[in-house]
Amino acid sequence: VKIFIQNIAQLVAVPPGPVCGAGLSSPPIVENAALLIEDGRIAWFGPADQAPTGPFDRRIDAGGGTVVPGLVDCHTHVVFAGSREDEFEQRIRGASYIEILEAGGGILNSVRALRSARIDDLVAESRPRLERMLASGTTTIEAKSGYGLTPEDEIKTLRAIRRLDAETPVELVPTFLGAHTIPPEYAGRADAFLDTITDEAVLRTIRDEGLAEFADVFCERGAFSLGQSRRFLTACGEFGLTPKIHSEQITFTGGTKLAVELGAASADHLECIDDETIATLSDSETIPVVLPGCSFFLGSPPAPARRLIDAGLPVALATDVNPGSCTIESLPLIMSIAATLLKMTPLECLVACTANAAAAIRRADRIGAIAVGHQADLLILDISNVNRWAYQVGVNPIAKVIKRGEVVLQR
């Protein structure tokens, strides 16, 4: 099937990730462009006056708009139960994240809600979030478990993620975040908890059912130490899961260096990263993932994205959507926040949410770019200039969302 997209004012030809330096700050832009999709893949793109002549099975008129790759959200906790607006208010009134956690609230509220939810409830509760994310341009979403914290509830969450992948147009990438926090029944006994969650029968089920591609750990004071993080990721690695780490978020723990040592796909958060660790990342394939929505939501200092980019690193951005520390589902809103708070240019934000985000979930050879042979995950935006997207904070310019060559959403 050949689908020809014509009348494109600007086509942002984001190259396959990871992208750093000049490719990150100024990806090629084709003015007055056209694009040909063949059997779900990008077959040609370029100036309209050089476009192949038909016949085509279908034509799509971009209406003088802009075409960019579908957005990739490479770090989310989007499958959860319940909500925590009470705590949001407590924090506004002055309580800290740690104080709320120590009083038995915070993430433990989400753990209780998830454990009592049936898989059908979990799927039904999460589906509208995915639909809203698709409507704001996100075509691929990494989704973590981590609110179950028992073997059964973690596997239940991963099965819910798989069902959502099958039942919605969004592509979901599953991550086993069995070491998200220490559940109350194991308070003070993190190692005993890790014994249960890395039990061979659990990891074998995850592997044999293909329930996760990545393993992730919250390496932080009060959560898992560097040694425990290494132990968890190594155990998961023996069953084929690629490591990822939540590192240097609230305090500096050295988790990012562990990520590099273990060949992790990404090191995420990095609010407290230092220059020596930035240099370590430069010598690695580990993608730094920055989550400014979290800083916005918590009112805390953001990661030094500008320093990471200026050091030549292929920075990725993600929402970190979750019920506690960031409820933002929209990557375009994250782009606006990254522009104002982190001093990333609108084009850097776009590349960070496409090519580099795809690299953070090891899919850069298939998604996140406009390149011949890449999957046709595309957005048609009702703006004639791509820079207007991040600038028009909170305004949604999406006219069409195309996933695997099919129009899955029209506005």
Instruction: Give the footprint of Zn ion on this chain (CB under 5 A).
Output: 320
On whether the CB atoms of residues 10 and 33 are closer than 8 A, the answer is: yes
Choose between 245 and 349: whose C-beta lies nearer to Zn ion: 245
Which residues are CB-neighbours of 55 under 8 A, at least 6 positions away? 2
Q: State the nearest-atom distance from the C-beta of 218 to Zn ion, in Å.
A: 8
Nearer to Zn ion, 63 or 82 (CB): 82
Task: Quote the Cα angle for 221-223-229, to 5°.
Answer: 95
Closest CB 246 distance from Zn ion, rounded Å: 5
Our CB check for Zn ion shows the closer of 78 and 367 to be 78
d(CA 313, CA 324): 29
Q: Give 43 or 267: the residue with its C-beta nearer to Zn ion.
A: 267
Shortest approach of Zn ion to residue 367 CB, angstroms?
Answer: 21
| Count of all residues that appear for the chain in the document | 411
d(CA 213, CA 190): 24
Question: Taking the complex as a whole, how short is the minimal distance between the CB of residue 139 and Zn ion, in angstroms?
Answer: 20
- Which residue has its beta carbon closest to Zn ion? 320
* Strand partners for 288: 267
**Sheet (strand 242-247) strand order:** 71-73, 138-144, 171-179, 214-218, 242-247, 266-269, 287-290, 316-317
Q: Check whether the bond before 292 is cis (ω within 30° of 0).
A: no
Q: How far is the CB of 48 from Zn ion (least distance, A)?
A: 42
- Cα separation of 283 and 280, whole Å? 6
Nearer to Zn ion, 213 or 320 (CB): 320
- Is there a cis peptide before residue 55, judged by omega within 30 degrees of 0? yes
Q: Report the nearest approach of Zn ion to the CB of residue 291 (Å).
A: 7
Nearer to Zn ion, 36 or 264 (CB): 264
